[in-house]
A and B are shown apart, each in its own frame.
Chain A
Amino acid sequence: MELLAIFISAILINNFVLHYFLGICPFLGVSKKLDSAISMGLAVTFVMTITAVVSWIINHWILLPYKLEYLQIVSFILVIASLVQLVEMFIRKTSPPLYQALGIFLPLITTNCAIMGLALLAALKNYNFMETVVFGVGSGLGFTLAIVLMAGIREQLDLADVPEPLKGAGIALIVAGIMALGFFGFSGMIK
């Protein structure tokens, strides 16, 4: 039950993009086409799940026992950077179709603050192992949901008559604001 609450809240209520403002760069950059948005979402979900597992292990088996918490930032970012590289090589070898689908989105993920944010938030909230994994999957799906919805709206927006100065990033941010407003409706769901 606890796990289900974490899962639902990570997707809908504390959505990474619309509540924590994490991963705004890909959210605005890769949301122009629906299919690339889906690929990006899947790639992020995938890396987030693995990051959640690995960062938990590092935090609880190495950093905390030896009182090295101040190395959290450095070690997390290095782990994420090398992990993304590793995942990329692994996928290229084992599953070429998946590699084709994710393509250039994998390396981009290194600089995605959502991944780093996930590692830090999970450490901050003191989740145990299972909770961290569920939090990772949920947050990834939440990101996917937000970016896919955004891409759908933006494809329609191309046909709309937007005031000249607001074209591009301006209108995208306003749409995101209205979406965040909509997601606010979920906030009473879980106490």
Chain B
Amino acid sequence: MASKTLSQEFIKGLWDENPIFRQLLGMCPTLAVTNAVINGIAMGLATTFVLVFSSIVVASIKKLIPNQVRIASYIVVIATFVTMADRFLAAFFPPISKSLGPYVPLIVVNCIILGRQEAFSSKNSVGRSFIDALGMSLGFIIALLILSSIREILGAGTWLGHQVLGPWFKPWIIMILPPGAFLTLGVLLGLIMVIDRKLQRSV
């Protein structure tokens, strides 16, 4: 892993090790908040904040943490940043905070974040962990954007609140309800597999 250049470290989060499409991590927020693009973006940014700062902190104090209590220590670090993100959203963007509801505090149990600390930050330098966290978060945001765009356009005929489909379009309400989330992600996973196989064949 140490042989990778910094740019490779960054790019792997976007496709090869995309947290949602490849590793199937962090499914709960992914499915729950993607009923509108704005919620997806807010969730993506909040998770980015938590992931980047927890990775920096964990990477810088990794030598001080005894091995036996490392998971508990990571959780405390993560919980601190999640509380900050939660309070910030509640103070400056009350409507978004309201529509995301319990899912902002739930970032604390998002497996992507704990997974990156355990698999990466606890073994690598601060700079490398920072780049890794940025790449993973970007991959997460892209996945949320794709999913929420599909669901909002088909479910309400709008994108970020703007009308994109004409008045002839009858919204598929089911897409913004819970079943739509499962169906969209399931079909997307299948598509990603097909694209990936095409790519591998052409290499």
Distance of A14 Cα from B35 Cα, bound (Å)? 17
Count of chain A to chain B residue pairs whose CB atoms are closer than 8 Å in the complex? 115
A81, B106: Cβ atoms closer than 8 Å: no
Expressed in whole angstroms, the Cα–Cα distance for A178 and B180 within the complex equals 9
Contacts of B83 in A (CB 8 A): 70-71, 73-74
Contacts of A166 in B (CB 8 A): 186, 189-190, 193
- Asked if B80 CB lies within 8 Å of chain A CBs, one says yes
| Shortest Cβ distance from B80 into A: residue | A74
> Distance (Å) between the CB of A11 and the closest chain B CB?
16
A169 and B189 alpha carbons, distance in the complex (Å): 8
Which of A18, A25, A81, A173 touches B189 (beta carbons < 8 Å)? A173
Provide the bound-state CA to CA distance between A75 and B16, in Å: 36
- Asked if B114 CB lies within 8 Å of chain A CBs, one says yes
B137-189: which have CB < 8 Å to A?
174, 177-183, 185-187, 189
From A123, which residue of chain B is reached at the shortest CB distance?
B102
> A124: CB under 8 A from chain B?
yes
Distance to closest chain A CB from B117 (angstroms): 12
Task: Choose, from A47-55, A93-101, A110-118, the stretch at the interface.
Answer: A110-118
A108 to chain B, nearest CB (A): 11
B79 touching A28 by the CB < 8 A rule? no
Q: Is A34 an interface residue (CB 8 A)?
A: no
Q: Bound state CA distance, A173 and B20, in angstroms?
A: 13
Is A23 touching B189 in the complex (CB atoms < 8 A)?
no
Please tell me if the beta carbons of A165 and B197 are within 8 angstroms of each other in the complex: yes
CB distance from A117 to the nearest CB of B (A): 6
Taken together as a complex, chains A and B put the C-alpha atoms of A157 and B40 apart, in Å, by: 32
Say whether B86 contacts A172, CB under 8 Å: no
Instruction: Kindly state the separation between the CA atoms of A165 and B86 in the bound complex, as whole angstroms.
Output: 38
Interface size on A, residues (CB 8 A): 41
Chain B residues within 8 Å of A19, by CB: 178
Q: Is the CB–CB distance between B80 and A21 below 8 Å?
A: no
With a cutoff of 8 Å between Cβ atoms, the chain B residues found around residue A77 in the complex are 75, 79, 108-109
Annotate B109-153 by CB proximity to A: 1 below 8 A, 0 otherwise: 111001000000000000000000000000000000000000000
Compute how far the CA of A117 lies from the CA of B31 in the bound complex, rounded to whole angstroms.
15
Cβ of A112: which chain B residues have Cβ within 8 Å of it?
A: 109
- Contact among A74, A173, A180 for B76, CB-based, below 8 A: A74
Q: Are B190 and A163 in contact (CB under 8 A)?
A: yes
> What are the residues of chain B within 8 A of A24 when measuring CB–CB?
27-28, 31
Interface positions, chain B 1-45, Cβ under 8 Å from A, are 24-25, 27-29, 31-32
| A residues at B contact (CB < 8 Å) | 18-25, 28, 70-74, 77-78, 81, 111-113, 116-117, 120-121, 124, 163-166, 169-174, 176-178, 180-181, 184
15 sampled A-B residue pairs with Cβ under 8 A: A25-B111, A73-B108, A74-B80, A77-B75, A78-B75, A78-B79, A124-B102, A166-B186, A166-B190, A169-B186, A172-B186, A174-B183, A180-B178, A180-B182, A181-B179
